[in-house]
């Protein structure tokens, strides 16, 4: 396939025709460019941070509101569902109201509902407000990415993607650390209150510098059927993933009903959106090969990586006995090299074949996953922390490179829709990877425990030695059971690592289904 025959790459171009003129305003330069980029990156950071900041605060929230911890987790799932619903609608919202207007309105709503979440005193009110916060937060990710592409000149597009991408990498890692510290040292409402000054700063920068970069609008009707089908599909899928383990998956009529609702709604949604004249979610952008290949690779790769990111602290706390803070410190090291390597990735993306960089990043991540399979239950802090530190070096090449490759063939007018789909897939694949990974871990752990118990040798002699050392029979039995549980959990963890490693390598193979991306502003856009 000829690269020259592909649609003009969107990366260096405005996301849609600006309202100020046919050619649009010139990209920003100098300090104004980097200040505007900082404001957009910080906006992306704070909205992604809120997807994980409540994870370690659930016990505090549940205790304060007098509900069970399982009910407390509704504050997480409600936000995720609402965010996932609005993300793919971003293209329609930008076309109907303008990219900048949607960005500003979403920021204001996000700050307002953040404040109200902190004031909530019942779980029902908090869940409702988290839904509203998620609805406002969802469009912020694709809108900030769209504005980044609009204000940066072509020769600095790699830096734009690197700056935006590092926030998506680093925010989920910092979330549990910040949430745990705030909940332990202040009180849980402050995990929401801290959003307000951050959003105020972002709004000031955006209003000051980005007014000329508003996009043109189209007066189109609201696709109510598409929106309803999207809500049923995403809501049903999220409930299946969140409640499946608790209700024995498809052994439960409720889970079966939710799964059927999600599947039927998904099929109808695809048909409706592809045939409707003014779809809420523009699925027609999937005709660009770079985009559908990028989305497929992102779904497999990000879902696998995120499942490991969630599973590791669970294993450290349940099997090794780490506290939440200690597990958080291990995980936070992943961000060190991720931040350091992001500018390098952004620079190399402009000079080398993006497919090669993405592949190298995925091979690196898969190698680190194999490295984790040599962990033992008596390892030191650095035995567990070093792979996390090294893992971060591959994330910018995987994530930033994949996002750049996915958008390179999409024309400027379709960038909001394409960016919305990418963010939607990242959100849903992360949730799916988490649910499926932890479920697989539980199942593999139970199976390993059965196998270990049936082949346990010398248990009676060991119990006798423990009792001779001063333990009671019950204490000795509990110690042996704990040892078996730790080893079974470790074996189950390695099982998940092996599967995710294979999935990451499959995602790497998918990357090569697209022709070599050619970024505008680079020489040598030859065909092949």
182 or 14, higher pLDDT: 182
Helix 415-454 and helix 224-243: axis angle, to 10°? Answer: 20
Q: CA Rg, the chain, in Å? A: 24
Alpha helix (H) residue ranges in 120-219: 123-137, 140-151, 157-185, 190-193, 195-209
Mean pLDDT, rounded, for 427-445: 80
Is residue 234 assigned to a domain?
yes
pLDDT of residue 401: 86
The answer to whether 197 and 27 have CB atoms below 8 angstroms apart is: no
Q: What is the pTM of this model?
A: 0.71
DSSP category for residue 458: S
Query: 3-class secondary structure for 355-408?
Result: HHHHHHHHHHHHHHHHHHCCCCCCCCHHHHHHHHHHHHHHHHHHHHHHHHHHHC
Mean pLDDT, rounded, for 168-176: 74
CATH of the domain at 491: 1.20.1250.20
Share of the chain above pLDDT 90, in %: 22
Is residue 470 assigned to a domain?
no
For the ranges 301-305, 364-368, 478-482, the lowest mean pLDDT is seen at 478-482
For the ranges 215-219, 253-257, 524-528, the lowest mean pLDDT is seen at 524-528
- Dig out the tokens for 429 from the structure: 């694949």
The answer to whether 327 and 313 have CB atoms below 8 angstroms apart is: yes
Mean pLDDT, rounded, for 101-126: 93
63 or 14, higher pLDDT: 63
Exposed, middle or buried: residue 248 (CB in 10 Å: 0-12, 13-18, 19+)? Answer: exposed
Is residue 476 assigned to a domain?
no
pLDDT of residue 420: 73
When pLDDT is cut at 50, 70 and 90, the band that residue 20 belongs to is very low
Residues 6+ apart with CB under 8 A from 419: 15, 90, 91, 141, 142, 145, 146, 407
What tens digit of pLDDT does each residue of 188-238 get? 899 899 999 999 999 999 998 888 888 777 776 778 898 899 889 888 887
pLDDT of residue 519: 60
pLDDT for 2 beyond 50: no
Mean pLDDT, rounded, for 353-361: 91
Counts of helices then strands in the chain (DSSP H, E): 21, 0
Instruction: State the Cα–Cα distance between residues 482 and 499, nearest whole angstrom.
Output: 26
374 or 52, higher pLDDT: 374
What tens digit of pLDDT does each residue of 262-294 get? 999 999 999 998 988 878 778 888 888 889 999
- Dig out the tokens for 250 from the structure: 């498809």
Is residue 473 assigned to a domain?
no
Share of the chain above pLDDT 70, in %: 86
- Dig out the tokens for 384 from the structure: 């567990």
Is residue 518 assigned to a domain?
no
In the predicted model, what is the mean pLDDT of the chain? 80
Q: Which residue, among 74, 158, 163, 146, has the nearest Cα to 106 in the 3D structure?
A: 146
pLDDT of residue 523: 34
457 or 392, higher pLDDT: 392
pLDDT of residue 460: 65
pLDDT of residue 4: 32
Q: What is the largest CA-CA distance in the chain?
A: 87
pLDDT of residue 244: 77
**Interior angle at CA 118, CA 117 and CA 121, nearest 5:** 80
Identify the domain containing residue 389 by its residue range. 3-215+224-455+482-511
Is residue 143 assigned to a domain?
yes
Q: Which residue, among 318, 330, 309, 307, has the nearest Cα to 449 in the 3D structure?
A: 318
pLDDT of residue 114: 95
Instruction: State the Cα–Cα distance between residues 294 and 426, nearest whole angstrom.
Output: 11
Cβ neighbours of 351 (radius 10 Å): 10
Q: Which residue, among 293, 488, 304, 496, has the nearest Cα to 391 in the 3D structure?
A: 304
pLDDT of residue 8: 30
Domain count of the fold of the chain: 1
Locus of tokens 């990710």:
141
Is residue 526 assigned to a domain?
no
pLDDT for 498 beyond 90: yes
Alpha helix (H) residue ranges in 14-119: 30-49, 58-65, 69-72, 74-86, 90-97, 99-119
85 or 466, higher pLDDT: 85
Is residue 464 assigned to a domain?
no
């Amino acid at each position: 396939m000829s690269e020259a025959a592909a649609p003009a790459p969107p990366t260096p171009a405005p996301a849609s025709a600006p309202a100020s003129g046919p050619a649009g305003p010139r990209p920003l330069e100098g300090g104004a460019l980097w200040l505007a980029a900082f404001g957009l990156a910080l906006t992306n950071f704070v909205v992604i941070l809120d997807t994980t900041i409540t994870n370690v605060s659930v016990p505090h929230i549940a205790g304060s509101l007098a509900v069970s911890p399982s009910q407390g987790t509704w504050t997480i799932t409600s936000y995720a569902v609402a965010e996932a619903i609005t993300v793919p609608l971003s293209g329609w919202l930008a076309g109907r109201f303008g990219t900048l207007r949607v960005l500003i309105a979403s920021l204001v709503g996000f700050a307002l509902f953040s404040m109200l979440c902190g004031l909530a005193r019942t779980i029902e009110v908090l869940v409702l407000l988290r839904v509203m916060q998620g609805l406002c937060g969802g469009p912020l990710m694709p809108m900030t990415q769209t504005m980044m592409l609009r204000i940066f000149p072509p020769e600095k597009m790699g830096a734009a993607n690197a700056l935006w991408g590092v926030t998506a990498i680093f925010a989920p890692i910092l979330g549990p650390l910040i949430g745990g510290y705030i909940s332990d040292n202040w009180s849980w409402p402050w995990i929401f209150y801290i959003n307000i000054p951050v959003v105020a700063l972002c709004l000031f920068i955006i209003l000051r510098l980005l007014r000329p970069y508003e996009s043109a609008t189209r007066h189109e009707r609201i696709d109510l059927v598409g929106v309803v089908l999207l809500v049923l599909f995403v809501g049903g899928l999220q409930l299946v993933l969140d409640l499946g383990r608790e209700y024995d998956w498809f052994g439960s009529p409720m889970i079966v009903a939710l799964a059927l609702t999600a599947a039927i709604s998904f099929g109808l949604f695809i048909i409706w959106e592809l045939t409707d004249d003014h779809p809420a979610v523009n699925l027609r952008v999937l005709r660009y090969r770079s985009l559908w290949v990028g989305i497929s690779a992102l779904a497999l790769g990000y879902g696998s990586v995120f499942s490991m990111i969630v599973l590791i602290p669970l294993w450290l706390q349940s099997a090794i006995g780490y506290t939440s803070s200690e597990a958080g410190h291990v995980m936070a090291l992943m961000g060190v090299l991720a931040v350091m390597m992001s500018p390098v990735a952004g620079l190399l993306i402009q000079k080398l074949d993006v497919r090669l960089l993405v592949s190298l990043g995925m091979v690196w991540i898969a190698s680190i996953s194999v490295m984790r399979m040599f962990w033992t239950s008596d390892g030191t802090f650095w035995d567990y922390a070093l792979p996390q530190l090294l893992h971060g070096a591959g994330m910018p090449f995987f994530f930033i490179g994949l996002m750049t490759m996915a958008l390179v063939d999409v024309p400027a007018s379709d960038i909001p829709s394409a960016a919305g789909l990418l963010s939607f897939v990242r959100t849903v694949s992360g949730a799916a990877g988490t649910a499926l990974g932890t479920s697989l871990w539980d199942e593999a752990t139970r199976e390993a425990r059965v196998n270990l118990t049936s082949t346990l040798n010398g248990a009676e002699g060991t119990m006798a030695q423990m009792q001779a050392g001063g333990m009671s029979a019950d204490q000795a039995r509990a110690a042996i059971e704990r040892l078996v549980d730790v080893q079974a959990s470790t074996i189950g963890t390695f099982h998940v690592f092996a599967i995710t490693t294979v999935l990451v390598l499959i995602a790497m193979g998918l990357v090569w289904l697209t022709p070599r991306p050619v970024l505008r502003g680079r020489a040598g856009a030859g065909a092949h």
